Structure 1
Amino acid sequence: MAEAMGTQKDAVLDTGSASKTENVPLQVTSIRLTKDNYLSWSAALEIGITSRGRLSYITGDKPAPIKSDPQWATWALEDSQVKVWIISSVSSDIQPLILRKPTSFDMWTVLAKMYGRKKRHLRTYQIKRSIYSLTQGDLSVAAFYAALKTKWEELDYHVTDEWTCGSDHSLYWEKEWMDRTFLFLGGLRDEFESIRSQILNGDEIPGIEEVYARVESEEQRRQVMHLDTGHGPSAFVSRASGTGQRPARHCTHCHKLGHSVDFCWDLHPEKRLVRGRPPSGKRSPSVSDSSQSNSSSGAKSKLSPAQLQELQAYISRLSTTPEESSTSEGAQLAQALVASTDQGLGDGEEDWDWFGY
């Protein structure tokens, strides 16, 4: 009878142990401890252990009971699980250093002594140097602020100053966060000069969180308005309306740009004096002689106001009369234009665009 009761008691204990370890993960963080990342590792592992309700095992607040205590079996089971989490989160070269420690608290304490305060002054110097040299560069405002915040937290971990006066301690941290606000603003790109000036020219400098919120809001506004570096309002309007520059015309006959085959002078010589003047290689002898005489004399003639008025009136008539209505008057005006301008228009696109085609 006694043996049966003992067997039943063992079965109940085994069932309780199994229920406590059921669905318990082998890892609570993806960060593995190396010789240089103790701060980030300890923070991540502490969060993972706390989420499982077993932080007191590594802080020493729940020491081991005596083995005759009915709670010893439960404590040993839960402490072993914490030890598994610690061992699985350190690199393979560090595991032998803690593998035979009796409790998870001993493992945690040894790792803190070995890597937590190692070369504190050298590490403080390295952190401060990296903070002062850090700029936004190609990072977003959020990524830049996160990089600074990570370094500030690591720096605070290595600073072990003890304060006897609470008011002096508060004043120190107020000044410290003011300096960090200046570092954040100073590391931003030049495109945030406007919001930076607004903050610095205010009567009071807000806290670092409010400063970050204002700068990050400005970045979002710029992204929405497409006002990042290299983009202007005209480019945004062009993209929004779906229109850009006028596509260049291409003639399939002479393979020149600036006109289509319907207005090619080679195929339609009758349109030379209606739409513009002929190409430079096909000018009439009178025009060529007039240009040579003007260049040899060195004088630069210009259109008189009367000629300009006649030319404007002629162009206005072209918009209301058929193309076949070119007359000798049009020819005379076109030749006068060629002979009177300082620099003749070249072939291609400029020939047509001067008259609006």
Structure 2
Amino acid sequence: MESKDTIIMPDQPVTMGQLLQLFSQLNTNKPPPPPSETSTSTTTISIPTFSISEKLTHQNYTMWSRLMQLALSGRDRLNHIIADPPPQTDQEYSQWTRRDSVVISWIIESIHPDLVNQFIDFPIAKTLWKGIETVYSSGGDGLQIFDLTVKANKIEQRTDTLEKYYSNLITLWKEIDRRQPNPMKDPEDKVIYNQLTQKNRLYQFLAGVNETFDKERRDLLLQDPLPTAEEAYAFIRREIMRRGIMKKEPSSEVDSSGSGGVFAVRGRSKKSYRKNDDRSHLQCTHCGGMRHTKSECFKLVGYPDWWPDTRKKGAKMAGQLSDQPRSGRAAVVSSTKSDENMAAMVKYSKEDEGNREKQKSEKMGRRK
């Protein structure tokens, strides 16, 4: 006797309708899932990985606690260390307990192994957090606040970069704020208190920067309203970058023509000509002058605009005298010596003229 579920006959072709009927019966006769696979996922808690860059030691509580708060807040578990647990009669208490156990495991894993034993027995995350704070936080200790304030007032940049100097100040300021938070209650009073604090920190920052930024310091203190310490830091940092760019720019005083290495470029200041180069060992073979060569001699390449007209004329005449042909050994005569020779020649010329007048007078007297 054939089964009632048998549809396909051995001696007959299978039609599309029979196939569809077969698939329908397979879906209908599918056994239900076992009870263990029912919707229990709503109560399943997955434990994500948790890691911060610092493990709690005797010296780094401030940084560690801040990193832990950020990490817990990012996982929506910050309330486990700052809020009280729900009552045990609450229907969510069981799930809260499981989540709190996860937070405790995160905190324990972030403590140095040498310190774990003293914190392993706390029942909930909030009491564990409070216990760590009691042991390693100085709280509002007046001595600690005094020491931090003295350090903030005395710190200076010196050989540090501006970034490192400002980072050190920020660390001290954050320690002070944690131990001495804003005590005001009224919102307006809180704003005034914060403004006064920012002004004092601006003075601390500017007092410690190097003297090379005196101009920037004055400009910042003359602003109304005064900038914050952060704005002052950004202002001086931009100035440092500007100076670095200016140092890299090529000098416009260098002769780019390459003709004989001419040093004396028109328009160049006399101050930069003498200050930037050690030329005491040079001597010109044309005029005999010091501190330059023949290819740089003003008598050959021209005089700059800052050269006095009187000196131009005198040097020109001396150059003309020195250019006259000479017999025998060639002598190197300085421009100063040439001026003296020129003056002597004028003197001798006047004396010769006087002698000629005297002789003429004597002849006239003899004739009479």
Shorter-chain TM-score: what band? 0.5 to 0.7
Alignment-mate amino acid for residue 243 of structure 2: R
Q: Which moved more, 1:154-163 or 1:79-88?
A: 154-163
Q: Aligned residue for 1:25?
A: 49
Q: Aligned residue for 1:237?
A: 250
Contact 1:26–1:84 (8 Å) recurs in 2: no
SS in 1 for 2:113: coil
CA change 1:58–1:52 in 2 (3 A) is: same
Q: Aligned residue for 2:193?
A: 172
SS in 2 for 1:137: coil
RMSD over aligned Cα atoms: 4.2
Instruction: Give CA deviations for 1:277-317 in whole Å, capped at 9, x if unaligned.
Output: 9xxxxxxxxxxxxxxxxxxxxxxxxxxx99973644655x9
In 2, Cα distance between equivalents of 1:91 and 1:105: 19
Instruction: Give CA deviations for 1:62-119 in whole Å, capped at 9, x if unaligned.
Output: x2564994662x4344322222221122222321121121221221111122222357
Alignment-mate amino acid for residue 119 of structure 2: I
Identity across matched positions, percent: 22
SS in 1 for 2:59: coil
Larger gyration radius, structure 1 or structure 2: 2
In 1, Cα distance between equivalents of 2:138 and 2:181: 10
Q: Which moved more, 1:36-45 or 1:116-125?
A: 116-125
In 1, Cα distance between equivalents of 2:205 and 2:234: 12
Report matched runs for 1:1-357 at 5 Å: 5=35, 7-8=36-37, 12=40, 16-17=44-45, 20-21=46-47, 24-27=48-51, 29-60=52-83, 63=85, 66=88, 69=91, 72=94, 74-117=95-138, 120-159=141-180, 162-163=183-184, 167-226=188-247, 237=250, 309=317, 311-312=319-320, 328-329=326-327, 331=328, 334=331
CA change 1:240–1:216 in 2 (3 A) is: farther
In 2, Cα distance between equivalents of 1:140 and 1:187: 12
Alignment-mate amino acid for residue 117 of structure 1: S
CA change 1:241–1:92 in 2 (3 A) is: farther
CA change 1:337–1:122 in 2 (3 A) is: closer
SS in 2 for 1:334: coil
In 2, Cα distance between equivalents of 1:213 and 1:169: 26
In 1, Cα distance between equivalents of 2:217 and 2:162: 13
Alignment-mate amino acid for residue 136 of structure 2: Y
SS in 1 for 2:202: helix
Alignment-mate amino acid for residue 110 of structure 2: S
Alignment-mate amino acid for residue 207 of structure 2: G
In 1, Cα distance between equivalents of 2:44 and 2:136: 37
Contact 1:57–1:105 (8 Å) recurs in 2: yes
Contact 1:276–1:334 (8 Å) recurs in 2: no
Instruction: Give CA deviations for 1:312-345 in whole Å, capped at 9, x if unaligned.
Output: 4655x9xxxxxxxxx644x56516669959xxxx
Give the unaligned 5+ runs of structure 1: 227-234, 247-256, 260-273, 278-304, 318-326, 342-357
